[in-house]
A and B are shown apart, each in its own frame.
Chain A
Amino acid sequence: MQVELVSPEAVLFSGECSQVVTRTVDGDIAFLDNHAPFIGALDIGQTQLWANDGVVSLAINGGFVEVSGNSVTILSDGALAAQDINIQDAQSDLQAAEEALNADADDGAAANAKKWAETRIQVSSAV
């Protein structure tokens, strides 16, 4: 199936894939060829694309996925490919977010920041 990963600034990936795994707000979901039409909101998490030349792994900071007519479109305003992740930044962000959460456990922005930092670390360390 045809897969496109689009950010506001560029088309980050466009090509043929055999499988796509991503995470919607309700949980992980996988798409194979000829999946039924689907629209979902993406959570902060890892997305993997099984392309012809190997698995592409990305950290997604929220977005949307649309599946129709054997093509998958992922829209995200915060997507980072594994090789573009700065692990030091992610770790320092994680630390800052944890400190903010210790001070105020209900801080939603900090919770998201923590999740985003963890996702980046997970994606970059999986390579």
Chain B
Amino acid sequence: MAGGQERILRRRIGSIDATKKITRAMELIAASRIVKAQGRVQAAKPYSEKVTDVITNLAGGGAGVDHPLLTTAEQVDRVAYVVIAADRGLCGGYNNNVLRAVERAIEADKSQGRDYALVLSGKKAAGYFSFRGYEIHAAYEGFSDQPNYNDAKAMAESVAELFESGQVQQVQLAYTHFLSMGSQEVAVEQFMPLEPSEIGADAAEDADSGGYEFEPEPAEILGRLLPRYAEARLYAALLEGSASEHAARQRAMKAATDNAEDLKINLTRIMNRARQDSITTEIMEIVSGAEAMSQDDDDGLKDIIEQSLEGSFASLASDRNDA
């Protein structure tokens, strides 16, 4: 019967409404976190800029560029990928974009006869690669929302060990670059060996040493500084990843909320039509019943039917007001 359908629709609308409340809440949370995450990206900048400054000055002061982190291997047999993805889903294509880019890069390496090693950040990355049968060297999780420096440090140390021990000859860093609220871009960049040009160490020959005094020797300071530089760079990538994650989640949840709203409107229309249909049918039944009765020429009965008709109109009207 039509009343049954109406009840089913009412229940569906209720469940969509509940889902909408959840997605709306997630959208608002993500929106507030983007601002925080962006602030952290900004707050991390002075440190890495100063570290780069110091490296440039050190190179100018004659520190040799022969640190293991700066040494390019003659032949690359194995490439490590540091992948920065999220711990949670429901953030649109954020995870998949990074993970697919890495998978493509690994395929390209394989065709050149290079092996791979995976260092992952984020539950989703670990899930993706283990499901596809990739061998995972190290997986970190639990901080994709709000990474702190110690997380970056722990990751960078394990990556540096992998690189310095010669197990891999190159390290690539895959993360999502946060350009603005509306646009983020997957980036796969060389992480190790560090590019001397990028850190200003190639200025060694022509730079003016500026008459710096060093304590201890420049080369020793550089040796201590380069790992910090790598950490800072990884930390920046983690922060950008988290800002991108929140931005992607905000967009995805906004789309979901809008969708739920559309669905709700549609279903409400269908439900109203079903209700109206059932009301019309009911009236038809009463009227045709009344007509059948009046042909039996009993006026007393006719009065009773008219009264009952009024009664059901009144209840229908109040029904409508309720709806």
Contacts and interface: CB of A to CB of B under 8 A. Distances in A.
A36 B213 contact: yes
A26 B217 CA distance: 10
Contacts of A9: 40, 43-44, 47, 148-149
A25 B225 CA distance: 14
Given A9-B149, A64-B54, A66-B53, A38 B213 contact: yes
Interface stretch (B95-103, B117-125, B163-171, B228-236): B228-236
Contact of A7 (B47, B54, B153, B213): B47
B296 interface: no
Contact of B215 (A8, A38, A68): A38
Given A8-B231, A9-B149, A39 B50 contact: no
Contacts of B228: 64, 75, 77
Contacts of A75: 47, 50-51, 54, 228
Interface of A is mostly: strand
A2 B100 CA distance: 47
B134 interface: no
B46 A6 contact: yes
Nearest to A36: B213
Given A66-B53, A75-B51, A75-B54, A40 B221 contact: yes
Interface string B210-247: 11111110101100110010011001000000000000
A6 B210 contact: no
A39 B211 CA distance: 11
Interface in A22-51: 24-26, 29, 36-41
B215 A41 contact: yes
Given A11-B46, A77-B153, A66 B54 contact: yes
Interface string A48-81: 0000000000000000101010000101010000
B212 A39 contact: yes
B61 interface: yes
Nearest to B220: A41
B271 interface: no
B47 A6 contact: yes
B194 interface: no
B58 interface: yes
A10 interface: yes
A105 to B, nearest CB: 24
A68 B210 contact: yes
B45 to A, nearest CB: 10
A37 B213 contact: yes
A108 B198 CA distance: 33
A85 B219 CA distance: 33
Contacts of A66: 50, 53-54, 57
Interface in B242-257: none
29 contacts: A4-B46, A8-B44, A8-B149, A8-B232, A8-B235, A9-B43, A9-B44, A9-B148, A9-B149, A24-B216, A25-B215, A25-B216, A37-B212, A38-B212, A38-B213, A39-B54, A39-B58, A39-B213, A40-B214, A40-B215, A40-B216, A41-B215, A64-B51, A64-B221, A64-B224, A66-B57, A75-B47, A75-B54, A77-B153
Given A26-B215, A38-B213, 19 more contacts: A8-B47, A8-B48, A9-B43, A37-B212, A38-B212, A38-B214, A38-B215, A39-B57, A39-B212, A40-B214, A40-B215, A41-B216, A41-B224, A66-B54, A66-B57, A68-B212, A75-B51, A77-B153, A77-B228
Interface of A: 4, 6-11, 24-26, 29, 36-41, 64, 66, 68, 73, 75, 77
Interface of B: 40, 43-44, 46-48, 50-51, 53-54, 57-58, 61, 148-149, 152-153, 210-216, 218, 220-221, 224-225, 228, 231-232, 235
Q: Top 6 nearest A-B pairs by Cβ distance?
A: A40-B215, A8-B149, A37-B212, A8-B47, A38-B213, A41-B221
